[in-house]
Structure 1
Amino acid sequence: MKTTGNTILLTGGGSGIGLALAQRWHDAGNHVIVTGRNPAKLKAAAAGRANLHAVPLDVADPDAIADFAKEVTDRFPAINVLVNNAGVMMYETIDARRELADAEATVITNLLGPIRLIDALIDHLVTAPDSAIVNITSGLAFVPLPKAPTYSATKAALHSYTQALRVQLEGKVEVIELAPPAVRTELTPGQSTRENYMPLGDFADEVMSLFALEPTPSEILVRNVLPLRNAEAEGAVAERLALLKAL
């Protein structure tokens, strides 16, 4: 993937990892379009940045995705990179029957959202020069966080989907997976101040350095995520699952 000269569409760009990456890609000389459900956060993300644009989108709404895809490609026909970052994470207790609204919302946002948006934009992307799709998964795709079972499952599913997508789009669209570790954001309450989580700025800087490698790795993995990514190969899934259980 080129590091500059792209027109990048990034979901969930109003805060956290999405905002940090959007601003760094913008600083590197890319046009960036950020989406999200909070217009105020999007406006703040784009403030003072001439080539960083905000377009609201709720990726949980399939009709909105279809309309958005037409609007955004009409307004920004040079779009050549899609970054699926929008996601939600909720803790769940699953040892008794419960209301499944949180689990269903997690699946719709984290898994169906990227699938639907890729589908809505694929005809455009396969004709765009230097095109790429970046799916942001998680270290929890490889070892689940027990108290966030549906979140972990959606990230595992998106990892699998990304692998299949890469094969089908070979020679047409570059497909990259970015799997973050635990990062200091507000994805869950209090997460931005947890000392054992990776500082957001450090994470974004390391991610940018990995995107600058030639060729671009098919998986963007900062050092902090390697214990989870490599757990199965190292025969350490049970050990690292026990560590996550204690969180």
Structure 2
Amino acid sequence: MNIQSKTVLVTGGGSGIGYAIAKLLSEKGNKVILSGRNAAKIEKAAKTLGLDYIVCDVTNAEAVNNLVTRLNTDYDGLSVLINNAGVANLYKLSEDARAYEKSKQEFETNYFAPVRLTEALLPLLKKQPEAAIINITSNVTFHPLLVLPTYSDSKAALHSHTVALRLSLSKDTNIKVFEVMPSLINTDATKDMGGEQNGLPPQVVAEDLYYGLEEDRYEIYVGETGKQRDAYFANPVAAVESFNQGLF
């Protein structure tokens, strides 16, 4: 698809992957709107990049309704939605892990929020000659990482939803549905899991996303994700054990 002169919304755009995506797409001639729940953070990012922004907690129904109303009023040319906002808890499953609480938080942000926002924006996206929904998932969509167990669950769920959404919209709309699956990226959120030492720069995700959209690659693998996917489908048991080496 042509990813120039588009109006783009990036959720979780205040830092990390979202910030890098917003920066690159803006440089490529798109009108980018940042969204995030931390007002100070999203305002600072928008000011640095020279972009518009809307403060919104995507897990809050009223805030999402306000966001959608604002977009329909002030940005009725919106044609690209990038669901990037996410949260992860680093822990291992055990009897005292409080997995339910952590998974509830992760699913609210990583799964339910993009499902709700996407559905709410479909009428606006359908009005455009060409439109796209881009869900940022992870290399854990195919198999879990034991120290991110319920985060892995939430991204697997979003992967499944993305596939269903892509097929559902393919017959009678101009909306293309993409999924970007990064491996370990160096962001503030990954410091406790070795992101600074072993992670790729967020700019790599932005570049792979951009060229993936241009080439209509509906599943965009970043870093080691493509190799990990192939290994999983070749031998699931061996791939999961290798992926979690030293963690069990």
**TM-score normalised to the size of structure 2?**
0.91
Contact 1:33 1:55 in 2 (8 A): yes
Match of 1:176 in 2: 178
CA distance in 1, matches of 2:18, 2:145: 22
Matches within 5 A, 1:28-67: 28-50=28-50, 52-67=51-66
Contact 2:228 2:239 in 1 (8 A): no
Alpha-carbon deviations, 1:24-83, whole Å to 9, x = none? 000000000111111122122222544x21111111112221221111221111101111
CA distance in 2, matches of 1:202, 1:138: 14
Query: What is the aligned residue count?
Result: 244
Match of 2:76 in 1: 77
The reply to whether residue 165 of structure 1 matches residue 165 of structure 2 is yes
Alpha-carbon deviations, 1:134-157, whole Å to 9, x = none? 011111001211111111011111
CA distance in 1, matches of 2:243, 2:84: 26
Contact 1:8 1:83 in 2 (8 A): yes
Deviation (angstroms), 1:244: 2.6
CA separation of 1:208 and 1:191: change in aligned 2, threshold 3 A: farther
Q: Which structure dedicates a bigger proportion of its chain to strand?
A: 2
Match of 1:219 in 2: 219
Give the 3-state SS of the residue equivalent to 1:194 in structure 2.
helix
Match of 2:197 in 1: 195
Give the 3-state SS of the residue equivalent to 1:47 in structure 2.
helix
Gaps of 5+ in 1: none
Match of 1:94 in 2: 93
Contact 1:135 1:162 in 2 (8 A): yes
Gaps of 5+ in 2: none
The alignment-based identity, stated in percent, is: 34
Match of 2:151 in 1: 151
CA separation of 1:161 and 1:98: change in aligned 2, threshold 3 A: same
Contact 2:33 2:52 in 1 (8 A): yes
Taking only aligned residues, the RMSD between alpha carbons, in angstroms, comes to 1.9
Matches within 5 A, 1:17-28: 17-28=17-28
Match of 1:107 in 2: 107
Letter in 1 for 2:37: R
Letter in 2 for 1:55: I
Contact 1:177 1:220 in 2 (8 A): yes
Letter in 1 for 2:102: D
CA distance in 1, matches of 2:48, 2:187: 23
Match of 1:132 in 2: 132
Letter in 1 for 2:198: N
Q: Which moved more, 1:58-67 or 1:5-14?
A: 58-67
Deviation (angstroms), 1:130: 0.8
Q: Which structure dedicates a bigger proportion of its chain to helix?
A: 2
CA distance in 2, matches of 1:175, 1:138: 16
Contact 1:143 1:228 in 2 (8 A): no
Q: Which moved more, 1:70-79 or 1:199-208?
A: 199-208
Contact 1:11 1:35 in 2 (8 A): yes
Q: Which moved more, 1:189-198 or 1:132-141?
A: 189-198
Give the 3-state SS of the residue equivalent to 1:232 in structure 2.
helix
CA separation of 1:148 and 1:48: change in aligned 2, threshold 3 A: closer
CA distance in 1, matches of 2:49, 2:94: 48
